[in-house]
Amino acid sequence: MQSGERVYLNGEIVPYAEAKISVEDRGFNFADGIYEVVRVAGGAPFRAADHLDRFENGARALEIELPFTREQVSDAILETIRANDIDEGTVYVQLTRGAARRAHAFPEGVRPTLVMLARPYSGLAAAVRESGVGVATLPDLRWGYCEVKTIGLLPNVMAYQRSHDEGSYEAIMIRDGVVTEGSHTSAFCVRREKVFTHPIDNILPGITRKHVIASLRAQGIEVEETAVTMEEFRAADEIFITGTTLTVLGVVRIDGEPVGSGKPGKLTQLAMQLYDRDYDAARAEAQKRRQLGQVSD
Ligand code: PDD
C-alpha cells in the first residue's frame, strides 16, 4: 500500500484508507465475483477492448447485472490510471455481486461492488526474461467454469504456492493427464517448429494467449489449439507461458528436468519479440496521444 494511492470504488476515486467495503460483501463471503488485470502502456490500458469483453462475458456468466455501461467501466479504468499518475503499470478491476446479509441465494436489489487499483509496474526483470524460469506440475483442482475469471482463486493460489515452495516460478496444472494452463498464465509448448496450447475449454481465455497465437500465425508459424498430455509437454522442444503481467516467458525446467536445450527456444523468443513490438507500439501511440491532448488543453 502506498500512502498516496487512490482507489476507484463504485463511481468515486477515494484515498486508499477511505476505500471501505462491507464485511458481508459477497466477494468476501462467497468469492462471488470476477476480476481483470489490465496492463498500462503509456498511461492507457493495453488491449482494453479484450479485457472489457471478458469482463462483460464473466458478469453475464455469473448473472451479475452491471449497473455501469461498458463506456463507464472503460472511463473508470482511465480515471484510476490518471488518479495514480501511472505511465507503465497494471490496473486491477474487481466486480462482486455486492453486499447483502449472508445467504446463498442471489440477493435482490443489491448493487454490485466495483473496485479498481492502479499500480506502477514496468515488467519482469530482463535477466528473468533472458534466462527463463522453472515450473512445477500440480493437479488442476478447479471447478468446471474456468472460462470465467472469478476471484475464487484458491486452487490457483494453492498450486502456485506449492510450486513456489519447491523453488519454481509457476505451477502448471494437469487435468486428466492433460496440461490445462498455469496458475495465473496460459501454457504453450513447441514440438518440431509447431506450437500447441490447450483449447478454450474450461481454461481462461487468456488475452495474451489470443494475441500470441494471432501474431505467431501471422508469421506463418503453425499453432494448434489441442489437448497436450503431460508426457508430450515434458518432451517438448520449448515451453513458454503467457499472461498480462509476465507477458511471454520461457520455461527451461519442468519438475526439475531441463526443457529442450535448457534455454528459452527460438519460437519462445519470437513470441516475446512480437509481444514487445505490440506493447512498445501501443505505449508510443498512447504517449503521443497524451502529448497532443496536453498541447491542445
Ligand atoms: N492472471 N490463466 C489464468 C488462470 C490466469 O489467471 C491468467 C491471468 C491467465 C493469463 O491471462 P491474460 O493473458 O488475459 O492475463 C491465464 C492474472 C494476470 C492474475 O491473476 O494476476
pLDDT of residue 295: 59
- 221: cell is 508459424
Burial of 230: CB neighbours in 10 Å, binned 0-12, 13-18, 19+: middle
- 222: cell is 503453425
pLDDT of residue 4: 87
Could you report the per-residue pLDDT of 30-79, keeping only the tens digit for each? Answer: 999 999 999 999 999 999 999 999 999 999 999 999 999 999 999 999 99
Kindly state if the Cβ of 58 falls inside 6 Å of ligand 1.
no
Kindly state if the Cβ of 90 falls inside 6 Å of ligand 1.
no
Distance CA 169, CA 166 (A): 9
Beta bridge partners of 188: 197, 240
Cα 243 to ligand 1 centre (Å): 5
Distance CA 214, CA 181 (A): 18
CB atoms within 10 A of CB 152: 16
pLDDT band at 181 (very low <50, low <70, confident <90, very high): very high
149 included as an active-site residue: yes
Could you report the per-residue pLDDT of 186-205, keeping only the tens digit for each? Answer: 999 999 999 999 999 999 99
Instruction: Scan for cell 508426457, then name that residue.
Output: 231
Could you report the per-residue pLDDT of 266-287, keeping only the tens digit for each? Answer: 999 999 999 999 999 999 999 9
Statement: residue 3 has pLDDT above 80: no
Kindly state if the Cβ of 181 falls inside 6 Å of ligand 1.
yes
Instruction: Scan for cell 454490485, then name that residue.
Output: 112
Kindly state if the Cβ of 206 falls inside 6 Å of ligand 1.
yes
Under 8 Å between Cβ of 77 and 48: yes
pLDDT of residue 281: 98
Distance CA 11, CA 246 (A): 30
What pTM was computed for the model? 0.97
Distances (CA, A) of 39 to 75, 119, 157, 159, 176: 15, 10, 21, 24, 33
Q: What is the mean pLDDT of residues 100-110?
A: 97
pLDDT of residue 297: 45
User: Considering the chain, what percentage of its residues have pLDDT values greater than 70?
Assistant: 98
Backbone angles phi and psi of 70, in degrees to 5: -60, -40
Statement: residue 103 has pLDDT above 70: yes
Under 8 Å between Cβ of 149 and 204: yes
- 177: cell is 493427464
- 90: cell is 497494471
Q: What is the mean pLDDT of residues 148-168?
A: 98
pLDDT of residue 271: 98
Beta bridge partners of 4: none
Residue nearest to atom 6 of ligand 1 (CA): 184
pLDDT of residue 1: 55
